[in-house]
Amino acid sequence: MPKRGYHHGNLRQALVDAALMLIEAKGPTGFTLSEAAKQAGVTPAAVYRHFEGREDLIAEAARQGYEIFADVMKYAYDKGQPSALAAFEATGRAYLAFARKYPGHYIAMFESGISVNRTPDLAAVSARARGVLEKAAADLSEHISPDKRPPAAMFSAHIWAMSHGVVELFARTAPGSQSPFSPEDLLETGIGIYLRGLGLIKPDD
């Protein structure tokens, strides 16, 4: 911690970080402006130099989350190239890894109730994230014979839903309490079975 005089130096980001910690620790409900300010070593009123209010601060936390999320997904996608299948599976793993590594961001993004259409910024970055997943799905979709190919947006939605469901139901609780399987295993096998259903993995592989 650098010495701190009257001026903070980087209060804006310090507040976002504090908000993320609080959200992670106590849920989006538990987060309060005052506490975030206190944790950043500053009066509640100081927050208003940098944000319009409580909601605005959460939105910024979510925005940064989407930014990281989109990057992470893109990186996984690229790494899986040139195999469409490998790229797709990698994004699935990346989803869960993101939720685990950035729980505060994840909660701000998906559980805080802030709308993705709150600001153009937020809408843009969330669209970018969704775009990566849909691109991965579209690539993969090329390998399915056209007559039995579901829309790419549909199966990217399936995978997104399963990933989100695994996070919410099985990755959030005390380890091992909810289910005998790790979230990673659950998602890996789930996606595997699903892809087999699409004929993209050999039945006996």
Partner DNA sequence: TGTACATCAGTGAACGCGCGTTCACTGATGTAC
Based on its alpha-carbon atoms, the radius of gyration of the chain, rounded to whole angstroms, reads: 20
Instruction: State yes or no: residue 16 binds DNA (CB under 7 A).
Output: no
19 Cβ contact partners less than 8 Å away, ≥ 6 residues apart: 31, 36, 57, 58, 61, 104, 108
- What's the CA dihedral at 118, 120, 125, 130 to 10 degrees? 70
Residues binding its own copies: what is the number (CB under 8 A)? 40
d(CA 195, CA 1) in angstroms, rounded, equals 49
Nearer CB in complex with its own copies: 2/176: 176
Q: Which of 18, 20, 33, 159 binds DNA (CB under 7 A)?
A: 33
* C-alpha dihedral sign at 41, 42, 44, 47: negative
- In sequence order, what are the residues at sequence separation of 6 or more whose Cβ sits closer than 8 angstroms to the Cβ of residue 153? 134, 137
For its own copies, the closer of residues 13 and 181 by Cβ is 181
Contact partner, 49, from its own copies, DNA, none, Cβ < 5-8 Å per class: DNA
Collapsing DSSP states into helix, strand and coil, what is residue 154? helix
Greatest CA separation for the chain: 68
Pattern of binders to its own copies over 76-115, x per CB under 8 A? ----------------------------------xx-x--
Site string for its own copies, 113-142 (x = CB under 8 A): x-----------------------------
**Minimal distance, residue 120 CB to its own copies, in Å:** 16
Stretch that binds DNA, among 51-59, 73-81, 120-128, 170-178 (CB under 7 A): 51-59
Rounded-to-integer distance, Cα 184 and Cα 11, Å:
36
Q: Applying CB under 8 A, which residues contact its own copies?
A: 27-29, 110-111, 113, 148, 150-151, 153-155, 157-158, 160-166, 168-170, 179-181, 186, 189-190, 192-199, 203-204
Q: Applying CB under 7 A, which residues contact DNA?
A: 5-9, 11, 31-35, 41-50, 53-55
